[in-house]
Amino acid sequence: MISRHSLKVAVITLVAAFAGFSSAQAQRHGTEPIVTTGSPAGLIKKIDPEYPVAFVIHGAKGRGRFRLTINPKSGLVDEVKILQSTGYQDLNKLAVKALLQWQFQPGTRSPVEVPVEFDIQGGNRILH
């Protein structure tokens, strides 16, 4: 069985390799990607957005707000609307992709607003 952490490291390494960087390069510069999201009432399944190392290396970060329309019978997210952009179309897409996988308790009031922040802690931005 593969742990969630091992899978995350493998995905970061794969994306970094595709972008021409290694995860070791990002680690040497002390950068750590962090994604935070709100946790609204009734949430029973939460998928965090991906934050590819190529975005981190280039300093792409931002905070957005998203409105989720929840199906009252199933608790699944039917629609995600961007209320405030993260500042990057690709980060918005990654947030929407994850939020569409969330699940709430059936009967949860809709819509729900969720903040999503992509941040980089530590290190220096790598310039090419």
What's residue 31's pLDDT?
64
What's residue 53's pLDDT?
85
114 within domain boundaries: yes
Largest CA distance in the chain: 50
Total domains in the chain come to 1
What's residue 119's pLDDT?
93
112 within domain boundaries: yes
128 within domain boundaries: no
15 within domain boundaries: yes
What's residue 33's pLDDT?
86
Per-residue pLDDT 10s for the chain (128 aa) are: 444 444 444 444 444 444 444 445 455 455 678 999 999 999 999 999 999 988 888 889 999 999 999 999 999 999 999 999 999 999 999 999 999 999 999 999 999 999 999 998 875 544 44
Tokens of 79: 């629609």
32 within domain boundaries: yes
126 within domain boundaries: no
Q: Would you call 18 helix, strand, or coil by DSSP?
A: helix
95 within domain boundaries: yes
74 within domain boundaries: yes
CATH code: domain of residue 67? 3.30.2420.10
12-15 long-range Cβ contacts below 8 angstroms, 24+ apart: 12/52, 12/53, 15/52, 15/53, 15/54
Residue type, 98: A
In the block, tokens 């991906």 appear at: 50
Structural domain span for residue 82: 4-121
In this prediction the pTM is 0.73
